[in-house]
Structure 1
Amino acid sequence: MTENMAGRVFLPHGGPLRLARFVRRYKRFFIDAEDDGGIFTAHANNTGSMLGLLRPGAVIALSVSDNPKRRLPCTLEMVRLPDFRGDFWVGVNTLTPNRLFRLGAAAGAFAALAGYDAIRSEPPFGGGRLDFLLTGPGGRCFVECKNVTMVEDGAAMFPDAATERGCKHLVELTRLAREGVDKAALFFCVQRPDGGCFAPAAVVDPDYAALLAAAVAAGVLVLPYRAEATEAGIILGERLPLAAFCNE
């Protein structure tokens, strides 16, 4: 299901793509879309607001599963965003960050995470779970992955909706970093090309922004990476700089 394309970390979509136009979103996880075959319902696993993306008539790309047991074979993968410099895809599948991080870690794509040679999914923490635990000569590093689809004033921003769960993760990662026994990291997967740096969306969730600044001050490693969304799949790109809040 995953592969390395021309030396780059590459994640193909979960099935062939079906292009359509967005009609509406409802009950959080469902969208109606329309193509030449008419209106159909698809699954959307992104629980955020997808602010500024899901406009009626927007071109969307959905992967089509061949699993006969699925009630809805189509999953929303990308939204086409008009731009005066040229339209581009925005990846909205929230499974992508974890899948891409695992691939990137195995390929040694994250220079800041050198010294780890094994990865385990969903290690327990303080009454919940984080996404990954890296182990190796460098010790242990807990990692949480987030998907970024919002850009404002040239900065890629997270979250696009208030996130109590995300705040809980930040509190735990900060605790781990302050204790100094284990390392902690946040991987922000920026699935669009137009953000030149990364910052918390303080206007959307001021609590998350404050907790992220505290996490950075405590030594939590913040890794925002661009991920190029294409009709072939998702390609891991360059690391983005952090906005000025990190130095405040």
Structure 2
Amino acid sequence: MKYNKIKRGTFLSRPNRFLADVIIDDIPQRVHVKNTGRCKELLVEGAAVYLEDHEADLRNRKNRYSLVAVEKIDHSAESEIRLVNIDSLAPNKVVAEALQSGDLILPGLEEGLLKIKPESTFGDSRLDFYIEGITGEKAFIEVKGATLEEAGVARFPDAPTDRGVKHVLELCRAAEQGFFAYIMFVVQMKNVLYFEPNDVTHAAFGEALRYADKKGVQVLAFDCSVTQNSMHLGQPVPVRL
């Protein structure tokens, strides 16, 4: 997944969850934030950020720039810079690419995929992917992007998500009806030790995830290779529930 045109800037503030004030080429700009999560540990004053430039499509947009990535000081690695993608649309895109290319092989579907359908309804929810295996398997996948990292541990969510709990429980119902069911946490950075639910922020989500695991929903996590203008699905990350 690549962005067409990227500019570097300096983060100033975030007046609301949709907008941020950033300095680009020494000029203050108000930009769109492509993530409605809190991102408080990432979007701090003075942080270097990367923005998608929509100059070619200004007629259809209020803001020329969209904030898609941020440099985070990695205190667990002797103050190295950790580049984190915060574009909430990116996880689904990289999973779709990996499914289509065959780079992502799901447990139980090792023979390959016959059909990949994004945004499919099951019950009262719209899940991210419906897929069918070559040998007749049917499955649903729900994808969640994880941008919160502390001391090398990735966590989700960074804000309470009743919608996320609903999706997890819908996957449980799918598993009960004979579907393969997967929830996949796409960690939008490299070099994490493991993934775990963020029980401090939303205990109900952690409880739902552990319940789903017992009901046969497969809980997966992958890191990502992130550059200033791209993100690609990386390697599996251990999950601790």
Judge same fold: TM > 0.5, yes or no: yes
Matched, 1:168 2:158: no
CA deviation after TM superposition for structure 1 residue 164, in Å: 0.6
TM-score by length of 2: 0.91
Who is 2:52 aligned against?
63
Q: Which amino acid aligns with 1:81?
A: K
CA deviation after TM superposition for structure 1 residue 154, in Å: 3.0
Contact 1:151–1:194, Cα closer than 8 Å, also in 2:
no
CA deviation after TM superposition for structure 1 residue 102, in Å: 0.5
Q: 2:139 aligns with which of 132, 135, 141?
A: 141
Q: What are the Cα deviations for residues 21-67 of structure 1, in whole angstroms up to 9, with x where unaligned? A: 11111231111101234110111121111131110111100011221
CA deviation after TM superposition for structure 1 residue 130, in Å: 0.8
Who is 1:203 aligned against?
200
Gaps of 5+ in 2: none
Q: 1:116 aligns with which of 92, 113, 117?
A: 113
| Secondary structure, counterpart of 1:87 in structure 2 | strand
CA deviation after TM superposition for structure 1 residue 196, in Å: 1.0
- Once the two structures are superposed, the pairs formed by residues 6-155 of structure 1 within 5 Å of their partners are 11-13=1-3, 15-65=4-54, 66-68=56-58, 69-83=60-74, 84-112=78-106, 113-114=109-110, 115-136=112-133, 137-155=135-153
Gaps of 5+ in 1: 1-10
Contact 2:125–2:170, Cα closer than 8 Å, also in 1:
no
Contact 1:51–1:150, Cα closer than 8 Å, also in 2:
no
Who is 1:223 aligned against?
220
Deviating 4+ runs (over 4 angstroms): none
CA deviation after TM superposition for structure 1 residue 153, in Å: 4.1
Q: Which amino acid aligns with 1:241?
A: P
Q: 1:43 and 1:202 mapped to 2: Cα distance? A: 29
RMSD: 1.4
| Secondary structure, counterpart of 2:168 in structure 1 | helix
Who is 2:190 aligned against?
193
Q: 1:194 and 1:239 mapped to 2: Cα distance? A: 11
Who is 1:8 aligned against?
none
Q: Which amino acid aligns with 1:183?
A: F
Contact 2:7–2:52, Cα closer than 8 Å, also in 1:
yes
Q: What are the Cα deviations for residues 145-200 of structure 1, in whole angstroms up to 9, with x where unaligned? A: 11111123432110001001100001100111123x21111121101223211110
Q: 2:122 and 2:225 mapped to 1: Cα distance? A: 31
| Secondary structure, counterpart of 2:167 in structure 1 | helix
Contact 1:186–1:223, Cα closer than 8 Å, also in 2:
yes
Q: 2:103 and 2:217 mapped to 1: Cα distance? A: 19
Q: 1:214 and 1:30 mapped to 2: Cα distance? A: 36
Contact 2:113–2:132, Cα closer than 8 Å, also in 1:
yes
| Secondary structure, counterpart of 1:119 in structure 2 | strand
Q: 1:234 aligns with which of 205, 214, 231?
A: 231
Q: 2:152 and 2:136 mapped to 1: Cα distance? A: 35
Q: Which amino acid aligns with 1:174?
A: C
CA deviation after TM superposition for structure 1 residue 85, in Å: 4.6
Q: Which amino acid aligns with 2:161?
A: T
| Secondary structure, counterpart of 1:212 in structure 2 | helix
